[in-house]
Amino acid sequence: MTVTTRTPNTTLRRAAVASLAGSAVEFYEFTIYGFLAVVFAPLFFPSSDPTASTLAALAVFGGGYLARPLGGIIFGALGDRVGRRSILLATIFLMGGASTLIGVLPTYAQAGLVAPLLLLVMRILQGVSAGGEFAGAQTYIVEMAPERRRGLYGSLPVFGAGLGFASAALVVALAYASLDADQMREWGWRAPFLLCLPLTLACLFLRLRLEDSPEFKAMVADAKVTRTPVRDVLRTQWADVIRMAFMTIAVLGPSFLVKVYMGIHLVTVKDLPPAQVYTVLGLVLLATALLFPVMGKLGDRRGRLPIIKVGYAAYLVLSVPLFLVVNASTNWWQLIPALVVFAVIEPVVAGSVYTSFAERFPGRVRYTGTALSFNLGAIAAAGFGPYICGQLIASTGWAASPGLWGSLCALLGLVAVLRSRETSQVELAR
């Protein structure tokens, strides 16, 4: 059975704004950890070797991603059973609370081993929340969108994610520019985390005004809601889950080379001023984020898969050259074009790929299926990608070796997408 109900314009606008804003807040809160890791790493993981401290902090960064599938299972199943709206409220509340608390944690000097343990706990809570947040926003807005504009509206959560990354970079750049090194170490790193509190409250206000999607209401009315969405999706669509996990790896692995790892690389390997690094990254990410809805709309017209294939191929070919150019550059005029070219690829891929996830699953398991697919891929690609990149350089001595990781991820995505079906013209099934 398919859904043909039309969402009122006012309701659709509210859903669009709330989905975009929620993803922006989530990714701001989840990302500032990676941007600030080089500052607070010695405070929680003291070591005579700064690289060891940074790698320890990045390992905890990955720990947050390990928790994402758990969040995807919990919140995905609840979202398919009790509705999308209530779960989207719960996930943003949990993410905001954990992120704010990181800003008030004691350091190792103040609390000993309790400090890194608390940091890990907060990061895990962030991961559990994030495991349900993005997939929920994606599911919700695709169900609310007009049938022939699902790509445009479905690109809003990842558009919001791009804005969140850019905002995190610019806030960190402002902190670096306003404070000296001692002030950043003593208290400045905490300010971006404390900013999570008002951002979370604003997002909660927006989401309190939402209602569940017409499709979920129809499933309730028709008694189509399943009590076992995790079992159902793994029994009937396990191959789709695996394919889409690989497709997620192929987006997040290469894109996180610029979004998260590049800042660390430019500061620690190229020895560039942090304020300049994060200002440039923030502006690059902000400019390229504007392309997400453009590419989402193009996916409505041309289909999802052809565009996704082009993006994956570009990642495969350009990941290593990106780092070769970055490491050979002697000024920002050489560096910025390389960052822009590589950053533009993500909207090409992600403007369509996550919408196609939601389109592949029937409504009764859509939240769960999307969450499992996205978060399983996110563990390897985004969670441990920065750590793997750091280890590659440490073990090989080749500063361009992180590009090999990006190319490998893209290759996995190409294999997966070649075995996938087009979804842009299908009606959403219950």
Backbone angles phi, psi at 112, to 5 degrees: 65, -140
CA distance linking residue 200 with residue 194, whole number of Å: 11
Q: What percent of the chain has pLDDT over 70?
A: 98
Instruction: Let me know: does 88 contact 196? Beta carbons within 8 Å.
Output: no
Amino acid at 384: F
359 closest CA partner among 150, 83, 87, 132: 150
19 closest CA partner among 278, 358, 323: 358
Q: Which residues contact 61 (CB under 8 A, 6 or more apart)?
A: 33, 34, 37, 123, 383, 386, 387
Give the max Cα distance, the chain.
64
CATH 1.10.3720.10, domain 10-419, yes or no = no
261 closest CA partner among 403, 424, 421, 64: 403
**Per-residue pLDDT tens over the stretch 345-384:** 999 999 999 999 999 999 999 999 999 999 999 887 877 7
pTM exceeds 0.85, yes or no: yes
**Per-residue pLDDT tens over the stretch 134-164:** 999 999 999 999 989 999 999 999 999 999 9
Q: What is the pLDDT of residue 234?
A: 95
Looking at every residue in the chain, the average pLDDT score rounds to 91
Given a cut of 90, whether residue 202 has pLDDT beyond it is: yes
